[in-house]
């Protein structure tokens, strides 16, 4: 969908400058500015983090995010640079490696500074590259959290997320297990990932849910209703693939974006990737971003997105794209 969307704009620009200049040009109406976006969000009401975080998944062996990251010292330097630049929310999962991604985070950053939140996920069985299966059984969640605590060198995980519902296990049973782990003091806040709105509501009937991590970006708004519900409920929404990337392929199609997105980027002297991130920060105050990258240059580029203030017109034009 994404590529065709931008292809449409590229084609429109090539073949119909009228369409671009009347419907999609941003130059005519950019005087009204929105307020700068809030810089922080309090997960679960008490865990305040900067809204521009970092997704560490790609600091793993390739292909398939399997095994240890080849440039271990480079990965550690990148994680430290992220923290230096103000990142205090890092997303990982047992499945990334498995285990190796949590290892590199601990190796780079532990003992952690007081305000650094490392959020992880459990409920996946990944025995080989390309073989990734849900296992959100109580046994696997209990086993998983012990491993994450050990690898991350933590006594309690600030935000523990169910990686994805397991069709073989009643969803309520997985959530009840997370609630029991919270009761046992191993987890501060519980999050869900890759859930439907109905599953989120079902989980809320069991325990307080602090976050939802579903795929969402300028180019994929499938989970818009879930995002809007999270905004109403003050639940953190942590979009994965915020740059519209294929998780198993390096790079983002956004670097090729043309048409309106490129025009807006040029007006702000920014990259199209920065505009995609800035739009998400404007989209809702409960969004926490975790763009992934393996390069310090891209990390630094992404971090600048939080200083871009889009006009109301730009936000609404991008919002109307989908």
Ligand X SMILES: NC(=O)c1ccc[n+]([C@@H]2O[C@H](COP(=O)([O-])OP(=O)(O)OC[C@H]3O[C@@H](n4cnc5c(N)ncnc54)[C@H](OP(=O)(O)O)[C@@H]3O)[C@@H](O)[C@H]2O)c1
Closest by alpha carbon to 95, among 53, 132, 58?
132
Identity of the residue, 243 or 264, whose beta carbon is nearer to ligand X in the bound complex: 243
Identity of the residue, 20 or 195, whose beta carbon is nearer to ligand X in the bound complex: 195
Structure-token pair, residue 144: 């998983």
Cα–Cα distance measured from residue 254 to residue 244, given in angstroms and rounded to the nearest whole number: 7
The CB-of-242 to ligand X minimum distance in angstroms stands at 5
Query: Is residue 276 within 8 Å of residue 301, measured between CB atoms?
Result: no
User: Residues interacting with ligand X, by CB under 6 A?
Assistant: 55-58, 91, 193-194, 213, 240-245, 247, 250-252, 255, 273, 290-295, 298, 301-302
Identity of the residue, 12 or 203, whose beta carbon is nearer to ligand X in the bound complex: 203
- Burial environment of residue 158 by CB neighbours within 10 A (0 to 12, 13 to 18, 19 or more): buried
Closest by alpha carbon to 237, among 276, 285, 302, 199?
285
Active-site residue, selected from the candidate residues 24, 69, 96, 160: 96
The CB-of-32 to ligand X minimum distance in angstroms stands at 28
Strand 187-193 to strand 211-213: parallel, antiparallel, or no bridges (unpaired)?
parallel
Cα–Cα distance measured from residue 202 to residue 171, given in angstroms and rounded to the nearest whole number: 9
Cα–Cα distance measured from residue 200 to residue 202, given in angstroms and rounded to the nearest whole number: 5
Identity of the residue, 260 or 290, whose beta carbon is nearer to ligand X in the bound complex: 290
The CB-of-285 to ligand X minimum distance in angstroms stands at 20
Identity of the residue, 38 or 251, whose beta carbon is nearer to ligand X in the bound complex: 251
The CB-of-318 to ligand X minimum distance in angstroms stands at 16
The CB-of-163 to ligand X minimum distance in angstroms stands at 6
Core vs surface per residue 238-268: b (16+ CB within 10 A) or e: bbbbbbbbeeeeeebbbeebbbbbbbbbeeb
Number of Cβ atoms within 10 Å of the Cβ of 285 = 14
Distance in Å from the first CA to the final CA of the chain: 10
Residue 160 a catalytic site member: no
Task: Please list the active-site residues.
Answer: 96
């Amino acid at each position: 969908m994404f590529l065709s969307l931008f292809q449409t704009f590229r084609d429109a620009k090539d073949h119909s400058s009228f369409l671009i200049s009347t419907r999609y040009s941003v130059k005519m109406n950019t005087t009204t500015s929105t307020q700068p976006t809030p810089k922080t969000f309090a997960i679960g009401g008490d865990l305040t983090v900067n809204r521009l975080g970092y997704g560490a998944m790609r600091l793993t062996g390739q292909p398939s995010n399997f095994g240890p990251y080849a440039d271990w010292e480079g990965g550690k330097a990148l994680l430290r640079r992220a923290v230096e630049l103000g990142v205090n929310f890092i997303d990982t999962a047992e499945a990334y490696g498995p285990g190796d991604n949590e290892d590199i985070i601990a190796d780079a950053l532990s003992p952690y500074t007081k305000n650094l939140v490392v959020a992880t996920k459990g409920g996946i069985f990944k025995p080989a590259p390309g073989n990734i299966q849900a296992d959100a059984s109580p046994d696997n969640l209990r086993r998983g959290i012990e491993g994450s605590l050990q690898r991350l060198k933590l006594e309690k995980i600030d935000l523990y997320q169910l990686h994805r519902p397991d069709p073989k296990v009643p969803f309520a049973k997985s959530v009840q297990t997370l609630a029991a782990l919270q009761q046992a003091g191993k987890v501060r806040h519980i999050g869900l990932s890759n859930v439907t709105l109905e599953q989120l509501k079902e989980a809320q009937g069991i325990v307080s849910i602090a976050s939802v991590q579903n795929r969402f970006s300028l180019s994929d708004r499938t989970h818009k209703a879930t995002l809007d519900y999270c905004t109403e409920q003050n639940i953190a929404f942590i979009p994965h693939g915020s740059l519209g990337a294929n998780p198993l392929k390096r790079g983002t199609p956004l670097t090729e974006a043309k048409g309106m997105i490129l025009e807006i980027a040029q007006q702000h002297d920014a990259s199209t990737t920065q505009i995609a991130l800035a739009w998400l920060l404007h989209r809702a105050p409960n969004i926490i971003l975790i763009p992934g990258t393996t390069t310090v240059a891209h990390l630094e580029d992404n971090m600048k997105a939080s200083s871009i203030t889009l006009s109301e017109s730009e936000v609404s034009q991008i919002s109307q794209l989908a």
